[in-house]
């Protein structure tokens, strides 16, 4: 008998969290990478700063 599993990824461009199920109470059903989380935050911080800088109206 096969099981259907659901996955729940978090993070783009790097997937820092992945959970899956169904999960038994005694099992660990997730993975977390704090380095990928930090890189993901830095990436989105730089991307949003670039977008704000690029589309900011300048007074001339």
Residue 1: pLDDT band (50, 70, 90) is very low
List, for residues 2-18, the tens digit of each pLDDT value: 566 677 888 888 888 88
Q: Is residue 1 part of a domain?
A: no
Tokens of 30: 């997730």
State the total domains in the chain.
Answer: 1
Answer whether 17's CB lies under 8 Å from 10's CB. yes
* pLDDT for the residue 59: 56
Q: Is residue 49 part of a domain?
A: yes
What does the alpha-carbon distance between residue 37 and residue 16 come to, in Å, rounded to a whole number?
5
Torsion angles phi and psi, residue 43, rounded to 5? -60, -50
* pLDDT for the residue 11: 85
Tokens of 8: 């729940």
Q: Comparing 25 with 42, which gets the higher pLDDT? A: 42
Q: Is residue 60 part of a domain?
A: no
The whole domain housing 18 covers 6-55
């Amino acid at each position: 008998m096969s099981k259907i599993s659901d996955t729940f990824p978090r993070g783009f461009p790097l997937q820092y969290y992945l959970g899956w199920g169904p999960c038994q109470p005694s099992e660990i059903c997730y993975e977390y990478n704090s380095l990928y989380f930090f890189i993901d935050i830095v990436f989105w911080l730089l991307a949003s700063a670039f977008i704000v800088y690029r589309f900011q109206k300048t007074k001339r």
